[in-house]
């Protein structure tokens, strides 16, 4: 269990597999995010049809509502949300960043004011692990502190706390049917990132994550940070780039040796009326699509593109019909998952370099059909 096997490599890019109690995941993988035990606007059946092989859920949100103990009583997260493939839960560390106005950090943990009703809640490494054990995901994450990326002093503090908390997470962990991943922090600062990668990878985690990226830093800083961290992280464990996301970032990430991605982007953009495609983003609400009979992407094999025109999708959006969010989510998730399968093929064929260059050129040209 939780063995990572590398099947192919092409420079830094790799194809691997990781065994979990709910099946094997093949990497590179993109995992859609279902914070509240649902990938918004998409049914589990639709996710299956999209060949999604793992989804995320969130510790903080499910602890507040409906409560992790209730989920445990109801048979665990897989049964509760009717998803029988692997699940990864985030630890609540991201909420330290995203709910910054409603929490106080100390050395021991974080005190949150609930965004739902204002009540006070305490999250510590031990508590985060206990919640994640109640939820019962296949992969659980160390409780970390995701910090703003460009503040050196703060990044260092947050990194040190993250390391202390990582140790405590390991000690707190009781179940052995869940893989606990450690998280590297350190902002955009190469020396911090190197140190963090060294410390975290010395703790014996079965997988490692890079946190604190795609939170406002430049692309250049993000890509460079990935290189710095991956140079230190052991190659025989899966590498998870948390919260990434865009078509090009997936390519850039795999190129640098990333195996696992997750992101809210495909589902959020869908609800915000945008389509992610090989050739850039389409704001489907644009007036120019009103009479456009073409699919979002003529080469796309997803359900949405196989059946519906841009004009119809735009109509659904303008009429505020909720099917718009579903059809666009299906397309966007398909785009990213299909990209990962393409990248796997290219790695197996040892053509990843040229594949990546061509895909990025098409993407950055933003030439729609």
Partner RNA sequence: GGACGGUUACCCAAGUGGACAACGGGGACUGACUGUAAAUCAGUUGGCAGAGGCCUUCGGAGGUUCGAAUCCUUCACCGUCCA
| C-alpha to C-alpha distance for 266 and 254, rounded to whole angstroms | 18
- Taking the complex as a whole, the smallest distance from the CB of residue 349 to RNA amounts, in Å, to 27
| C-alpha to C-alpha distance for 178 and 332, rounded to whole angstroms | 29
Out of 27, 178, 267, 335, the only residue in the binding site for RNA (CB under 7 A) is: 267
Nearer to RNA, 159 or 346 (CB): 159
Task: Look at the block and give the residue holding tokens 């947050």.
Answer: 158
Our finding on whether 311 is near RNA (CB under 7 A) is no
Our finding on whether 219 is near RNA (CB under 7 A) is yes
Our finding on whether 283 is near RNA (CB under 7 A) is yes
Task: Look at the block and give the residue holding tokens 């841009």.
Answer: 310
Our finding on whether 274 is near RNA (CB under 7 A) is yes
Residue 295: which residues within 8 A CB-CB, separation 6 or more? 304, 305, 306, 308, 309, 310
For 65, other C-beta atoms within 10 Å of its C-beta total 12
Out of 106, 119, 287, 293, the only residue in the binding site for RNA (CB under 7 A) is: 287
Stretch binding RNA (CB under 7 A), from 44-52, 99-107, 166-174, 229-237: 99-107
Our finding on whether 296 is near RNA (CB under 7 A) is no
Peptide bond before 239: cis, by omega within 30 degrees of 0?
no
Nearer to RNA, 98 or 351 (CB): 98
Our finding on whether 230 is near RNA (CB under 7 A) is no
Known catalytic residue at 262: yes
| C-alpha to C-alpha distance for 61 and 143, rounded to whole angstroms | 14
| C-alpha to C-alpha distance for 329 and 333, rounded to whole angstroms | 6
Give which of 8, 3, 4, 54 is closest to 344, Cα–Cα. Answer: 8
Stretch binding RNA (CB under 7 A), from 9-17, 71-79, 285-293, 341-349: 285-293
Stretch binding RNA (CB under 7 A), from 186-194, 212-220, 298-306, 357-365: 212-220
Our finding on whether 200 is near RNA (CB under 7 A) is no
Nearer to RNA, 16 or 211 (CB): 211
- Taking the complex as a whole, the smallest distance from the CB of residue 126 to RNA amounts, in Å, to 16
The residues pairing with 14 across neighbouring beta strands, listed in sequence order, are: 9
- Binding-site size, RNA (CB under 7 A): 57
For 367, other C-beta atoms within 10 Å of its C-beta total 9
Give which of 25, 24, 7 is closest to 16, Cα–Cα. Answer: 7
Tokens of 275: 């389509």
Stretch binding RNA (CB under 7 A), from 69-77, 188-196, 199-207, 282-290: 282-290
CA 326 from chain centre, in angstroms, equals: 19
Strands (E) across the chain are located at 4-10, 13-20, 23-27, 29-32, 55-58, 87-90, 103-105, 110-113, 120-123, 139-141, 179-184, 208-210, 239-241, 260-263, 274-277, 280-283
Our finding on whether 99 is near RNA (CB under 7 A) is yes
| C-alpha to C-alpha distance for 150 and 252, rounded to whole angstroms | 21
Our finding on whether 90 is near RNA (CB under 7 A) is yes
Our finding on whether 243 is near RNA (CB under 7 A) is yes
| C-alpha to C-alpha distance for 83 and 108, rounded to whole angstroms | 34
Our finding on whether 35 is near RNA (CB under 7 A) is yes
Known catalytic residue at 106: no
Out of 180, 269, 313, 328, the only residue in the binding site for RNA (CB under 7 A) is: 269
Out of 110, 179, 215, 258, the only residue in the binding site for RNA (CB under 7 A) is: 215
Q: Which helix (H) or strand (E) holds 363?
A: helix 352-365
Our finding on whether 262 is near RNA (CB under 7 A) is yes
Which residues are marked as active site?
90, 262
Binding site for RNA (CB under 7 A): 33-35, 39-40, 56, 58, 61, 90-91, 93-95, 97-99, 101-102, 115, 141, 144, 146, 183, 209, 211-212, 214-215, 219, 242-246, 249, 262-265, 267-269, 271-274, 281, 283, 285-288, 290, 318, 320, 322, 325
């Amino acid at each position: 269990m939780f063995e990572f096997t590398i099947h192919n490599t092409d420079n830094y890019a790799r194809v691997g597999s990781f065994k979990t109690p709910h099946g094997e995941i093949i990497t590179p993988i993109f995992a859609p995010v279902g914070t509240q035990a649902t990938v918004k606007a998409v049914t589990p059946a639709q996710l299956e049809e999209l060949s999604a092989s793992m989804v995320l859920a969130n510790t903080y949100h499910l602890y507040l509502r409906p409560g992790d103990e209730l989920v445990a009583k109801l048979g665990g997260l897989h049964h509760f949300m009717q998803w029988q493939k692997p699940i990864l839960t985030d630890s609540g560390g991201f909420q330290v960043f995203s709910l910054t106005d409603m929490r106080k950090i100390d050395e021991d943990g974080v005190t949150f004011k609930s965004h739902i009703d204002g009540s006070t809640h305490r999250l510590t490494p031990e508590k985060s692990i206990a919640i994640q054990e109640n939820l019962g995901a296949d992969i659980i994450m160390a409780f970390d502190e995701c910090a703003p990326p460009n503040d050196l002093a703060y990044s260092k503090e947050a990194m040190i706390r993250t390391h202390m908390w990582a140790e405590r997470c390991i000690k707190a962990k009781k179940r052995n049917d869940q893989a606990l991943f450690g998280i590297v922090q350190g902002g955009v600062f190469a020396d911090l990132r190197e140190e963090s990668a060294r410390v975290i990878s010395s703790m014996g985690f079965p997988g490692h994550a890079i946190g604190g990226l795609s939170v406002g830093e430049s692309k250049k800083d993000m890509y460079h940070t990935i290189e710095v961290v991956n140079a230190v992280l052991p190659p025989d464990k899966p590498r998870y780039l948390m919260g990434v996301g865009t078509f090009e970032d997936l390519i850039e990430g795999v190129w640098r040796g990333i195996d696992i991605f997750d992101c809210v982007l495909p589902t959020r953009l869908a609800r915000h009326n945008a389509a992610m495609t090989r050739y850039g983003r389409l704001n489907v609400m644009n007036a120019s699509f009103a009479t456009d009979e073409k699919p979002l992407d003529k080469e796309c094999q997803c359900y949405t593109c196989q059946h519906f025109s841009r004009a119809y999708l735009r109509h659904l959006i303008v009429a505020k019909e909720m099917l718009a969010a579903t059809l666009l989510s299906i397309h966007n998730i398909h785009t990213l998952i299909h990209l990962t399968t393409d990248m796997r093929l290219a790695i197996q064929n040892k053509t990843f370099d040229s594949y990546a260059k061509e895909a990025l050129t098409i993407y950055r040209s933003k030439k729609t059909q």
